[in-house]
């Protein structure tokens, strides 16, 4: 080690070591990132980090307040900016309130209770940070082992929600709880925060050995890789007289919840096309979604209304955990006519978006030439 590098490490140790000043409470993710650099960099790419700043969410927040009044925005902020909600910063004047589901919220959770209509997290913003690792120390704050961080319960307060009418708008945690994954002990973190070997603390701050840590990228439904690994499909065809039969076998292979899950406005769409070389062109769709209605039975097509006014389920065509389904189509393409057949899956996640790229993402495409 050269003299300049040695001097730099001494300076860093003095700056970030035992003399480090106490963190603000609640602390900004940037303060956490000074020591937990790798974890912070991963988290910044996550949907949790963008939960507040997302333009789609901002549009929904404006519509919520316009349609239902200023107090209604609190329903949205409780999960999209839980620190703003718990510090009553409803007008978002503090920087940390814009950080979405930020470090100091999750690592200030002490327990989650299920004795009310919705799961509730007990949060303490102090110099003691909770987490799933045991027997660890920190130069910047105190630490405490938290068993709840090792279970799906840590996710429940924001991923299960009944509105004031008692209607279950979000049911992801409940879907998981009723699946085989819960029985097998595979919590949400199994898929969304898989464990990797990494540095809990930047080695310039504190020399510690590599540990198994949860990956904080937390990929979800906006991740093409996550969607493609969850929904599996196979395309096949057969001739029946002057009709071309197309079959798509589709399965929810690995998700411990229904697909899609979350907001009732989310959909997965299967689009099948058959283009005959004789000039025939056909297109059909299957939509996997949970359609909800208000108290008058009118179907809801706006997200803020779904969260605040949904009262019943009109239909639920989603793929349950482990479910396999065969979709069948018949097209009038006579025998002897070749055809190009395709099956495309796309995830539709926002009716509020202004561009197609914001509204949906294609994650699986299958093709077959039929002669």
Highest mean pLDDT among 194-203, 337-346, 358-367: 337-346
**Every domain of the chain and the residues it spans:** 3-49+101-214, 224-370
| Gap between the Cα atoms of 5 and 140, Å rounded | 23
| Gap between the Cα atoms of 33 and 26, Å rounded | 14
Region of poorest pLDDT, from 7-21, 72-86, 88-102, 123-137: 7-21
| Gap between the Cα atoms of 171 and 181, Å rounded | 15
Outline where the chain has alpha helix (H): 3-16, 29-33, 37-44, 55-68, 73-80, 82-86, 103-106, 156-159, 172-177, 180-183, 189-192, 224-230, 303-309, 356-359
The 10s digit of each residue's pLDDT in 175-185 is: 999 999 999 99
What is the arithmetic mean of pLDDT over 63-89? 96
**33 with 41: CB under 8 angstroms?**
yes
What is the arithmetic mean of pLDDT over 93-108? 97
Q: What is the pTM assigned to this prediction?
A: 0.89
**215 with 194: CB under 8 angstroms?**
yes
Q: Measured between alpha carbons, how far apart are the two ends of the chain, in Å?
A: 69
Residue 158 burial class via C-beta count within 10 angstroms: exposed 0-12, middle 13-18, buried 19 and up: buried
Topology classification of domain 224-370: Immunoglobulin-like (2.60.40)
Residue 10 has pLDDT above 60, yes or no: no
Q: Which two tokens stand for residue 218?
A: 């937390």
| Gap between the Cα atoms of 166 and 164, Å rounded | 5
What is the arithmetic mean of pLDDT over 109-132? 97
What is the arithmetic mean of pLDDT over 281-291? 98
| Gap between the Cα atoms of 86 and 51, Å rounded | 16
Give residue 203's pLDDT.
54
What is the arithmetic mean of pLDDT over 131-144? 89
Residue 275 has pLDDT above 80, yes or no: yes
């Amino acid at each position: 080690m050269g003299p300049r590098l040695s001097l730099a490490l001494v300076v860093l140790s003095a700056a970030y070591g035992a003399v480090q000043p106490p963190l603000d409470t609640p602390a900004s993710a940037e303060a956490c990132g000074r020591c937990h650099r790798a974890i912070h960099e991963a988290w910044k790419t996550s949907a949790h980090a963008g939960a507040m700043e997302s333009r789609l969410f901002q549009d929904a927040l404006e519509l919520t307040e316009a349609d239902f009044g200023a107090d209604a925005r609190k329903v949205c902020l409780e999960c999209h900016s839980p620190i703003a909600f718990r510090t009553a910063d409803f007008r978002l004047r503090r920087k940390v309130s814009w950080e979405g589901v930020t470090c100091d919220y999750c690592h200030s959770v002490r327990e989650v209770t299920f004795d009310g209509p919705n799961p509730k997290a007990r949060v303490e913003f102090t110099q003691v940070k909770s987490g799933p690792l045991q027997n660890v120390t920190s130069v910047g704050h105190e630490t405490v082992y938290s068993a709840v961080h090792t279970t799906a319960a840590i996710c429940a307060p924001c991923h299960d929600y009944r509105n004031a009418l008692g209607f279950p708008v979000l049911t992801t945690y409940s879907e998981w709880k009723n699946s085989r994954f819960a029985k097998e002990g595979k919590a949400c973190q199994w898929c969304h925060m898989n464990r990797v070997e990494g540095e809990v603390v930047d080695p310039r701050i504190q020399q510690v050995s590599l540990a198994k840590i949860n990956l904080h990228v937390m990929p979800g439904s906006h991740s093409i890789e996550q969607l493609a690994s969850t929904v599996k499909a196979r395309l096949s065809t057969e001739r029946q007289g002057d009709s071309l039969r197309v079959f798509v076998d589709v399965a929810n292979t690995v998700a411990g919840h229904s697909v899609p899950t979350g907001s009732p406005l989310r959909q997965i769409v299967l689009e099948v096309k058959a283009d005959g070389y004789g000039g025939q062109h056909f297109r059909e769709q299957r939509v996997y979604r949970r359609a909800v209605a208000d108290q008058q039975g009118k179907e809801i097509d706006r997200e803020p209304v779904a969260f605040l006014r949904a009262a019943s389920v009109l239909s639920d065509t989603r793929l349950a955990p482990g479910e396999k389904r065969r979709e069948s189509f018949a097209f009038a393409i006579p025998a002897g006519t070749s055809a190009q057949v395709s099956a495309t899956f796309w995830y539709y996640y926002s009716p509020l978006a202004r561009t197609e790229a914001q509204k949906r993402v294609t994650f699986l495409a299958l093709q077959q030439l039929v002669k």
